[in-house]
Amino acid sequence: MRTYLDCIPCLISQVLKAARAVTDDEEVHRQVVNAIAAIIPGLSLGLKPPEIVQRGYRLVSEITGNSDPYCRAKVEANYTALALWSNLKRLVEQSTDRLFTACRLAILANSLDFGANFNYGGIGTVIEEAMMCSLPLAVNNYDQLRNSLSNCRSLLYLGDNAGEIVFDRLFIEEIHRVRELETCFVVREKPVINDVTMDDALTVGMDRVAKVIANGSDAPATILSECSAELQQLFHSADIIITKGQGNYESLEGEAGNIFFLLRAKCPPVAGLLGVNVGDCILKREARD
């Protein structure tokens, strides 16, 4: 997916929010905004949105001296979600289709994003929406997902946000109830926004249900050309790929593979491409040779 003009004010808003998470010093905030403004004329609209966001967060790190503005918030999100583990398990176990319920929870939890200008309402809202079934899947390729899982041996699961990763673990456990797969869960190499890193994965016990690897990149997405040789090899050899989040959709839309995008549409350009409304839940298969 290319960058739209709408992405530029979103970029400015995101980096300003990150700077404010680091310090109350308005002069630093001004420096960050000025630095972003200076690079905007040189940004090609042919770049993927996560590539311009990556540049923005690198500037925040350089100017503030803080490479992980949301560190404390990520820890909080992980432990808040873990405290709900027994409730989440019960919700899945009491449902008529355990895999679908766990999948839907994982999609709803994609709203736990500190980057996008999207009012997610917190983890409690995710649980409430799941229990009330108030948000159906606007794009629903669940049957294709279930069929693919029953006919494959290897799964590559690309994670997205802290807190959300607890819901991913629950979903992977339910996948393994359907079929035991060689499963690899992918995190970011370095902190960016509230995206998952190795620390987050180990905190929530993801290593108990999957092999966890870092992708070699600090982009808030999966930009294959920047990822490690290991990740690229896994991406091109996996029988099925599940990717979480809008950033992964923006960076991987159009790539070859048996790919399932699980996300909530968080902005008008992405919602428009998907033919849905902002806030809608998406389970979309894109299979290309």
37 in Cβ contact with 160 (< 8 Å): no
The confidence score (pLDDT) of residue 112 equals 80
Can you tell me the distance from the alpha carbon of 141 to that of 158, in angstroms, rounded to the nearest whole number?
18
Q: How far is CA 87 from CA 81, 142, 166, 227, in A?
A: 10, 23, 12, 36
The confidence score (pLDDT) of residue 198 equals 98
Tell me the pTM: 0.94
Q: How far is CA 54 from CA 15, 60, 76, 217, 238, in A?
A: 10, 10, 24, 10, 26
List, for residues 147-206, the tens digit of each pLDDT value: 999 999 999 999 999 999 999 999 999 999 999 999 999 999 999 999 999 999 999 999
The confidence score (pLDDT) of residue 14 equals 93
Backbone angles phi, psi at 202, to 5 degrees: -70, -35
List, for residues 92-101, the tens digit of each pLDDT value: 999 999 999 9
Which one has a higher pLDDT value, 132 or 183? 183
Q: At 127, is the pLDDT very low, low, confident or very high (cuts 50, 70, 90)?
A: low
Query: Mean pLDDT throughout 45-62?
Result: 96
Query: Mean pLDDT throughout 47-66?
Result: 96
**What's the mean pLDDT when you consider all of the chain?**
93
The confidence score (pLDDT) of residue 121 equals 60
The confidence score (pLDDT) of residue 139 equals 97
Can you tell me the distance from the alpha carbon of 279 to that of 248, in angstroms, rounded to the nearest whole number?
16
58: exposed, middle or buried (C-beta count within 10 Å: 0-12, 13-18, 19+)?
A: middle
Please determine, for residue 111, whether its predicted confidence score (pLDDT) is greater than 70.
yes
List, for residues 59-95, the tens digit of each pLDDT value: 999 999 999 999 999 999 999 999 989 999 999 999 9
Q: What is the DSSP string of the chain?
A: ----TTHHHHHHHHHHHHHHHH---HHHHHHHHHHHHHHGGG--TTS-HHHHHHHHHHHHHHHHS-S-TTHHHHHHHHHHHHTTHHHHHHHHHTSS-HHHHHHHHHHHGGG--SSSS-----HHHHHHHHHHT-S-EEEE-HHHHHHHHTT-SEEEEE--BTTHHHHHHHHHHHHHHH---EEEEEE-SS--TTB--HHHHHHTTGGGTSEEEE-S--SSS--GGGS-HHHHHHHHH-SEEEEESHHHHHHHTT-SEEEEEEEE--SHHHHHHHTS-TT-EEEEEEEE-
Q: How far is CA 207 from CA 147, 166, 211, in A?
A: 26, 12, 6
Query: Mean pLDDT throughout 45-50?
Result: 96
Bridge partners (DSSP) of residue 282 are 139, 263
Percent of the chain residues topping a pLDDT of 90: 88
The single residue listed with the structure tokens 């990150």 is 18
The single residue listed with the structure tokens 């926004």 is 193
CATH topology for the 71-288 domain: Rossmann fold (3.40.50)
Q: At 133, is the pLDDT very low, low, confident or very high (cuts 50, 70, 90)?
A: low
The confidence score (pLDDT) of residue 118 equals 54
The confidence score (pLDDT) of residue 132 equals 62
The confidence score (pLDDT) of residue 287 equals 83
Percent of the chain residues topping a pLDDT of 70: 93
Q: At 246, is the pLDDT very low, low, confident or very high (cuts 50, 70, 90)?
A: very high
Instruction: List the domain boundaries for the chain.
Output: 7-64, 71-288
Q: How far is CA 102 from CA 23, 79, 125, 129, 133, in A?
A: 38, 19, 16, 13, 13
Out of 1.10.8, 1.10.10, 1.10.3470, 1.10.3120, the CATH code matching 7-64 is 1.10.8
Angle, helices 26-39 vs 7-22, to 10°: value is 150
